[in-house]
Amino acid sequence: MARTTPFYPRTNALNETGLWAHWADYLSAPQYFHSEKHEYFAVRTAAGVYDTSPLYKYRIRGEDAENFLSGVLARDIRTCRPGQAQYTLWCDDDGFVIEDGVIVRTAQNDFLLTAAEPNLAYLQSLAGRWRVEIDDVSEGIASLAFQGPRSREILKKLTPDVEGLDYFDAIETKIDRTPITLSRTGFTGDLGYELWMPEDGALDVWDTLFEASEGHHVVPFGETALLMTRIEAGLLLIDADFSPSRYAWTDAQKSTPLELGMAWMFRGITDDTRPFIGRNAILEEQERGPRRKLVGLELDWREWDDLYRSNGHSPPKDHTPVSEELILYDKETHANVGFVTSYMYSPMVQRHIAIAQVEPRFAPIGSEVDFEVGIDHQLHYITARVTRMPFYNPPHKTA
């Protein structure tokens, strides 16, 4: 039987559709309103609240916590000071990505790591003689993502500590009497915050947050709106843009950090004081080059419209995110040169956009490939151009 999060008494009452999906054995709303665009535009123009409680959460602490994590995580945790959060990932011995997540350094020897998949046994298997404690605190901690351009203005009413919080900073604060770990992070590519709290204070925080949000058009938002915003932000999703290496059957199904555009994580990788898991394989890959590269694509809107109209159709502009493999082709030879992993029509960009992996020669900005489209059981091809990600990057996100 599916479990419910500490916020379920509120989310259930607000779910007008009555629809629920499963996320890590918890009920999670695909959408609350009959139009998910209502939720999407709330995030992009005001603020929205997303229940992230089903995330797996691990507290890692002890005298050797930093040294332990330095050997497990691909990104150098030593550069993350207390009061900061960090996006990171961890790899297998062959340099393939196992998973990604966000880690918050709450104190010198105390960390909170989030993940989409269970990792407790994996982390504990690596502990060895390190003086470190690794605890699954998933059920004891409720969490919310509060995302959108008005999120800071509203949170300031509840805790003035948010005022000086920089991008990817974190603080310990309180809302009413409930202790909160508050980080300036999120999965929408907008100004936003994540709130971590004891589960027994969850409903009080929810009620206080919505009282402070009155008049700002703040609504809960579900998975569909979240996926729309994350594609526009160029943020990668496990089981969509990459497969966890531990569940893949072949190397072709796996991805390396360099293939996923994460080369920026490896400044100082030649420092022999941090031999993290997968380091040698990544160094070798840096020498020979990756098999493919992650890119953003924008479809030619004129070709899209002309193609559909010439076949008797009104050109569709479907914002529903598609997370499945769509093949890309060389425009001249028509050889397979890559694949799309996530795709949608962006209401903000007003274009069809996609996250893709392509052969390195097609990765430069402005390169063109053919995107396959089916109309009336026939295959057609539309030009897709490599563009910069994120597709939508408002200045207030980091201001």
Domain boundaries, the chain: 8-50+140-221, 56-137+256-291, 293-396
Report the alpha-carbon distance of residue 28 to residue 41 in Å, rounded: 20
Q: How far apart are the first and last CA of the chain?
A: 43
Q: Is 251 left (phi over 0), alpha (psi -120 to 50) or beta?
A: alpha
* 56-137+256-291: CATH number: 3.30.70.1400
User: Is the pLDDT confidence value at 268 over 90?
Assistant: no
Q: Are 259 and 292 in contact (CB under 8 A)?
A: yes
Q: Are 76 and 86 in contact (CB under 8 A)?
A: no
pLDDT at 364: 98
DSSP line for 226-271:
HHHHHHHTT---BTTTB--GGG-SSGGG---TTTTT-GGGGTTTT-
Q: Tokens 């990817």 label which residue?
A: 168
Three-state DSSP at 125 gives: helix
pLDDT at 241: 97
| Cβ-proximal residues to 209 (8 Å cutoff; 6+ apart), any chain | 49, 144, 146, 154, 158, 175
pLDDT at 141: 98
Q: With CA atoms as reference, report the closest residue to 91 among 80, 83, 101.
A: 101
Q: What is the mean pLDDT of the chain?
A: 97
pLDDT at 1: 79
The mean per-residue pLDDT over the stretch 61-74 comes to 98
pLDDT band at 84 (very low <50, low <70, confident <90, very high): very high
Report the alpha-carbon distance of residue 122 to residue 363 in Å, rounded: 34
Write the single-letter amino acid at 176: D
Q: Percentage of the chain surpassing pLDDT 90? A: 97
DSSP line for 44-67:
HHSEEEEE-TTSEEEEEESTTHHH
pLDDT band at 311 (very low <50, low <70, confident <90, very high): very high
- The vertex-32 CA angle with 31 and 35, nearest 5°, equals 70
* 293-396: CATH number: 2.40.30.110
Q: Where are the alpha helices (DSSP H) in the chain?
A: 8-14, 36-45, 65-72, 120-127, 151-158, 202-212, 223-232, 279-288, 301-310
Q: Tokens 């709130």 label which residue?
A: 195
- CA–centroid distance for 397 within its chain: 15
User: Is the pLDDT confidence value at 280 over 90?
Assistant: yes
Architecture of domain 8-50+140-221: 2-Layer Sandwich (3.30)
Q: With CA atoms as reference, report the closest residue to 15 among 42, 1, 36, 45.
A: 36
The mean per-residue pLDDT over the stretch 252-275 comes to 94
Report the alpha-carbon distance of residue 266 to residue 283 in Å, rounded: 10
Q: Tokens 């509840």 label which residue?
A: 158
User: Is the pLDDT confidence value at 82 over 90?
Assistant: yes
The mean per-residue pLDDT over the stretch 187-200 comes to 98
Task: Indicate if 56-137+256-291 has the same CATH topology as 8-50+140-221.
Answer: no
pLDDT at 318: 95
The mean per-residue pLDDT over the stretch 331-355 comes to 98
- The dihedral through the CA atoms of 264, 300, 231, 209 has a sign that is positive
